[in-house]
Amino acid sequence: DTGVSQDPRHKITKRGQNVTFRCDPISEHNRLYWYRQTLGQGPEFLTYFQNEAQLEKSRLLSDRFSAERPKGSFSTLEIQRTEQGDSAMYLCASRPGSSYNEQFFGPGTRLTVL
Amino acid sequence: GESVGLHLPTLSVQEGDNSIINCAYSNSASDYFIWYKQESGKGPQFIIDIRSNMDKRQGQRVTVLLNKTVKHLSLQIAATQPGDSAVYFCAESPPQAGTALIFGKGTTLSVSS
């Protein structure tokens, strides 16, 4: 499968714990995005990377959230001191630099904070 | 079946019918639009896109119409099949959002056989 992959697919954690999610984009895609989706809503943009550079961050990305893409390939999203309000689906998307803005999404990581 | 005018969260159709899903977008400066299909427990799947210099684009069994005057986007699915059952989202790409996509409210399409 050459699509966007995410790991883990599901994560259950207790409030106050730290969690880290991984995204592997399509190999030739230099642009990578993180979105958050809550039940019944469309995805909301969190942050964007072009190669290893984090170029955009949403106001939704509080100080407890950090994202990296150290070698311009896979990316990680870490949430520190999780809160119940962080429970959501975290989606990763990627696209090649040459395309207009068609983004290809991964299956998501479902986070449940107890 | 059609979700007419204002956004309706659900649309139920019979197998074989044509479906029309409507979306009102927010930013008149948006220059690119995408329709995504999302099945339960999965990420959004690209269906079709359209740039603002076009008013219609056709794919396989799907057509997207863009009306910039009233900031309206629609997705037409011909001969709807049970496998088309999913939540459908429109997304826009406004210049001030950088490269982020702004998603609208989804419409749940239910196809009965």
Q: Enumerate the residues of chain B whose CB falls inside 8 A of the CB of residue A91.
A: 43-44
* Per-residue pLDDT tens over the stretch B3-34: 444 567 899 999 999 999 999 998 899 999 99
- Minimal Cβ distance to B99: which of A40, A101, A107: A101
How many residues in total does chain B contain? 113
What is residue B5's predicted lDDT score, i.e. its pLDDT?
A: 44
**Where are the strands (E) in B6-106, listed by range?**
10-14, 19-24, 32-38, 45-51, 56-58, 62-67, 72-77, 86-92, 102-103
* Chain A: closest CA distance from residue B44 (Å): 6
B56-58 and B45-51 strand pairing: unpaired
pLDDT score of A97: 79
Cβ contact (<8 Å) for A33 and B103?
A: no
Whether residue A41 and residue B45 make contact (CB cut-off 8 A), yes or no, is no
Q: What pLDDT, on a 0 to 100 scale, did the predictor assign at position B4? A: 43
Q: What is the pLDDT of residue B2?
A: 57
Query: How does pLDDT run along chain B (113 residues), one tens digit per residue?
Result: 654 445 678 999 999 999 999 999 988 999 999 999 999 989 999 999 999 999 999 999 999 999 999 999 999 999 999 999 999 999 998 876 668 899 988 999 999 98
pLDDT in tens, chain A (114 residues): 579 999 999 999 999 999 999 999 999 899 999 999 998 899 999 999 999 999 999 988 899 999 999 988 999 999 999 999 999 999 999 998 766 778 999 999 999 999
Residue of B nearest to A100 (CA): B32
Q: Please answer whether residues A75 and A66 qualify as being in contact, where contact means their C-beta atoms are separated by less than 8 angstroms.
A: no
Q: What is the pLDDT of residue B108?
A: 96
Cβ contacts from A onto B, under 8 A: 60
pLDDT for B89: 95
pLDDT at site A38: 94
The pairing of beta strand B72-77 with beta strand B19-24: antiparallel
Instruction: Write out chain B residues lying below 8 Å of A96, CB-based.
Output: none
Q: Give the closest of B46, B89, B98 to A104, CB-based.
A: B46
* Residue A70 contacts B where some CB pair is shorter than 8 Å: no
Whether the CB of B35 is below 8 Å from some CB of chain A: the reply is no
Query: Does the beta-carbon distance from B43 to A45 stay under 8 Å?
Result: no
pLDDT for B3: 47
Helix or strand (DSSP H, E) at A10: strand A10-13
The residue type of B5 is G
Please identify among residues 20-39 of chain A the ones whose CB lies closer than 8 Å to any CB of chain B. 31, 33
Q: What is the DSSP string of A27-55?
A: TT--EEEEEEE-TTS--EEEEEEETTEEE
Query: CB neighbours of B40 closer than 8 A, spacing ≥ 6?
Result: B86
Instruction: Record the tokens describing residue A40, joined without a space.
Output: 């019944």
